[in-house]
Amino acid sequence: MASKRTKPNSPRSLKQTEVRGPAQDKYSVLLPTYNERENLPLIVWLLVKSFSDSGINYEIIIIDDGSPDGTRDVAEQLEKIYGSDKILLRPREKKLGLGTAYIHGMKHATGNYIIIMDADLSHHPKFIPEFIRKQKEGNFDIVSGTRYKGNGGVYGWDLKRKIIRLYRKEVLQKLIENCVSKGYVFQMEMIVRARQLNYTIGSNIICGSSLW
């Protein structure tokens, strides 16, 4: 008797693969913080909800740079609430730059994919499954996304626009080895380096001025 199992190339099977990814895939979110005491509980809750609802394996690595407002204390509480397997606090003693925060976080990441984003709620984590789906569809090394208001220019290159990025871990490691910037331009330099090294880059535009 013929098997009734869903064929690997059926629409239903493809949709599940695109959203959830292979069972072995794990996504490490690098979340640098500085004076984010008020925002951190909400962004973490939204991340956990988005990943849990989508059946995605994840960890959130909080890199706090000695925030004077008590962000580290909040992160410690979140680690207890959600578990140290899901929330990893990896603080530093002082503010040393965004680029070095990512480098520090990478040392502790156990996922095979890395997501970098800000903790300031500039983007809703509900868009992350779309990034994962985009990466699976095109088998991209990097997926970059930002809000785009239609005023011209290339999205993702304006430093005033916040971005989310999804990387294969080994790709991000290679890019970090080649980057020399330390601040916010670190993210821009990584894309330049990625193009020089012929990595494949997918783009995901997050439309609209409000994400809530």
Using only C-alpha atoms, what is the Rg of the chain?
Answer: 18
Is residue 85's pLDDT more than 80? yes
pLDDT digits (tens, 9 = 90+) for 49-81: 999 999 999 999 999 999 999 999 999 999 999
| pLDDT over 70 percentage in the chain | 76
Measured distance CA(4)–CA(100) in Å, rounded: 52
What is the pLDDT at residue 25? 95
pLDDT at residue 144 in the model: 87
Q: Tell me the per-residue pLDDT of 137-175, one tens digit each, with 9 for 90 and over.
A: 999 999 987 665 444 344 444 444 457 899 999 999 999
**How many other C-beta atoms can be found within 10 angstroms of the C-beta atom of residue 54?**
16
* Cβ count within 10 A of residue 199: 19
Q: Give the chain's mean pLDDT.
A: 80
Of the chain, the percentage scoring pLDDT greater than 90 comes to 52
**pLDDT score for 69:** 94
Identify the pLDDT of residue 207: 55
27-33 β-sheet, strand order: 87-89, 58-64, 27-33, 113-116, 163-168, 142-148, 201-207
Distance CA 78, CA 87 (A): 7
> What pLDDT shows up at residue 43?
95
